[in-house]
């Protein structure tokens, strides 16, 4: 009887969390759509074009930024403290490299598209890679605890703040910088909120053996996602 009761409570927790997550994310999406409709009135097609040029490589690099370790952490039966430390360490290294690539790659983008403004825009956007390691682990821990409601609440808060930032800057004539600032605010605020509501602190380690099994799982997930994304992005690239 106790086993059935525990199972029933678990199912109810999952369903309740999933319902909350669905409602909150739908509300965030509707708010985002409405703000986008308004923002379009203040940002020129040229600025949207600049943003699209920035996003072409950024989307792929953001996919690579987790190495699929977020999904691997959620799927793992058990996680040892040393594994978390090693994952954190490797994510710091990986995203440090991606930061440098995108930061200095801005000049390449500017040259390729013959648009000098892309260089400084890319340099600003590059900083979101430094935030990735501080989101992956708490997000995965929330998912493992089936706390979908809290995760959705934090995400909608970041989404709404980003939309308001973009709208305000667009209204005051910031142009493409309004779009860039919205992305940065979203990633930064979500990272801060996760550190507040899902506090964790571990020292990074760089033990490849400790993360080999998760990197193997994450690598497959990342490669399949990258293949699909490249298929969609090939024309724009």
Task: List the domain boundaries for the chain.
Answer: 2-233
pLDDT of residue 210: 65
pLDDT at 64: 86
Q: Are 100 and 35 spatial neighbours (Cβ–Cβ below 8 Å)?
A: no
Q: What is the pLDDT along the chain (237 residues), one digit of tens a residue?
A: 455 555 566 566 666 666 776 777 787 778 778 888 888 889 999 999 999 999 988 988 888 888 888 888 888 788 888 888 888 999 999 999 999 999 999 999 999 999 999 999 999 999 999 999 999 889 988 888 888 888 888 988 999 999 999 999 999 999 999 999 999 999 999 999 999 998 887 888 887 776 777 777 666 766 666 666 666 655 444
State residue 47's pLDDT score: 93
Q: 194 Cβ partners below 8 Å, 6+ apart? A: 134, 135, 138, 139, 154
Helix (H, G, I), strand (E, B) or coil at 205: coil
Angstrom distance (rounded) from CA 38 to CA 43: 10
Task: Please state the pTM of the whole predicted model.
Answer: 0.84
For residue 36, the model assigns a pLDDT of: 83
Token pair recorded at residue 229: 């994304």
């Amino acid at each position: 009887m106790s086993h059935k009761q525990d199972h029933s409570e678990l199912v109810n927790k999952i369903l309740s969390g999933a319902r909350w997550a669905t409602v909150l994310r739908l509300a965030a999406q509707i708010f985002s759509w409405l703000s986008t409709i308004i923002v379009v009135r203040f940002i020129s097609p040229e600025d949207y074009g600049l943003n699209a040029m920035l996003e072409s490589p950024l989307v792929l690099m953001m996919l690579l930024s987790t190495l699929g370790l977020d999904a691997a952490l959620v799927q793992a039966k058990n996680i040892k403290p040393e594994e978390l430390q090693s994952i954190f360490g490797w994510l710091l290294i990986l995203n440090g490299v991606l930061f440098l690539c995108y930061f200095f790659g801005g000049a390449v983008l500017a040259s390729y598209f013959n648009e000098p403004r892309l260089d400084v825009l890319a340099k600003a956007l590059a900083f979101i890679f430094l935030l990735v390691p501080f989101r992956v682990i708490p997000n995965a821990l929330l998912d493992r605890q089936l706390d979908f409601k809290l995760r959705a609440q934090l995400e909608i808060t970041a989404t709404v703040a980003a939309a308001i930032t973009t709208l305000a800057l667009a209204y005051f004539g910031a142009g493409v910088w309004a779009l860039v600032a919205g992305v940065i605010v979203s990633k930064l605020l979500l990272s801060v909120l996760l550190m507040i509501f899902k506090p964790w602190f571990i020292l990074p380690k760089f033990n490849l053996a400790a993360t080999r099994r998760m990197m193997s799982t994450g690598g497959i997930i990342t490669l399949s996602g990258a293949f699909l994304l490249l298929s969609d992005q090939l024309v724009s690239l």
